[in-house]
Amino acid sequence: MSTKGVKSDLYKAAGVDIDLATNLLGKVKARLGATRRPEMLAPIGGFGGLFQIDLSKYKQPVLVSSIDGVGTKLMVAAMMNKYDTIGFDIVNHCINDISVQGAEPVYFMDYIGIGKLRSPLYENVLFGIADACKAAGCAVLGGETAEMPGMYGNEFDLVGVITGVVEKDKLITGENIKPGHLAIGLASNGLHTNGYSLARKILFEQNKYTVNSKPKGLNESIGHALLKPHTCYWSAIKQAMDKGLNLDGIAHITGGGLYDNVPRVLPANVDVVFDSSALPMPPIFKLLVEKGNVSHEEAYRVFNMGFGMIWFVPSKEAAKALKICKAAGFNAAVCGEVVKGSRRVTVN
């Protein structure tokens, strides 16, 4: 029996509009299709995405996967009614998480859970995902949008899953980090996707700002400062690997800041001492610290405070690392030194 022209009026009355979902997906398929890689064996829309690793390129390929969400940054997007950047947030966060191990991002999948599907929110989110993936050479392999009235109100959640591949002998593990290595900080443009629960409390609850407020020290509204998309650092890492840089460890500075993320890549017998003044601090962090009376230690544990990623290289390689970062378009600086210790971080 054909289902062409069959109505789903009862389901629609219950809050799920199958026809709207189909129509909106049709609007974004071409943009998603533009991310296609040769390894994809089927178009988007099947029950499972098919991706064949090109084994001629690798001797011992290792797949690296990660899953994450955008968190309560979605609430700021809702306050702004602006959804064209959060697709970049989820993709770039996920890419950074696997690229710290040297993995090339090859395919990405998304999940949207929402109370009531609506336009143009849906298209804006997926357009951002598609554009971010295309910029990184990563395929959108598939995804899922679940309309769940009763589970969600007017809110929604956005989750991404990414898979990358790296040659086993090129894995970046951190095991070769030694006393004397230098830390190279790559600048962030703001909060990226972490610390928004505290930021919202400080700015909107305690200080009664709105997303349109422009406090002294900010050259833009609070809303625009908070919605700056998460920076993707893969292009710099790829250049570093291609140029043979001795890149011995990388930390993506997400929730937990310098204090919690850096130890994840350190050997047990070293510490790192950071200079917090090495990179300029985005004005939004100065506002949060001042208006929230946030201590130095908590600020550098909750927020990235201007350090989006940390590379660890031998001191003789620092100049080469900085040159690569600059060529890739990133502001970077030597921001710390590795010393003997027990996997602890100090931020001066």
Its pTM stands at 0.91
pLDDT band at 103 (very low <50, low <70, confident <90, very high): very high
- Model confidence over 106-141: pLDDT tens digits? 999 999 999 888 889 989 999 999 999 999 999 999
- Compute the Cα dihedral for 17, 23, 28, 30 and give only its sign: positive
In tens, the pLDDT along 204-234 reads: 999 999 999 999 989 999 999 999 999 999 9
Residue 7 pLDDT level (bands cut at 50, 70, 90): low
Percent with pLDDT over 70 in the chain: 94
pLDDT > 90 in the chain, percent: 76
CATH of domain 182-347: 3.90.650.10
What are the structure tokens assigned to 332, written together?
Answer: 């970077």
322 pLDDT tier (thresholds 50, 70, 90): very high
Domain ranges of the chain: 12-170, 182-347
SS3 category, 266? coil
Q: Is the dihedral of CA 129, 311, 66, 113 positive or negative?
A: negative
Indicate the SS3 state at residue 50.
coil
pLDDT at 6: 56
Over residues 10-26, the mean pLDDT reads 67
Look at 90-94, 199-203, 213-217 and tell me which has the smallest mean pLDDT: 213-217
Domains 12-170 and 182-347 are alike in CATH topology? no
Cα distance between residue 348 and residue 345, in whole Å: 10
Identify the residue with better confidence: 246 or 28.
246
Residues 6 or more apart whose CB falls under 8 angstroms from that of 56 comprise: none
| pLDDT band at 1; cut points 50, 70, 90 | very low
Fold of 12-170: 60s Ribosomal Protein L30; Chain: A; (3.30.1330)
Specify whether the CB–CB gap between 308 and 193 falls below 8 A: no
**Residue 132's closest CA among 181, 95, 173, 180?**
95
Calpha distance 35→123 (Å, rounded): 16
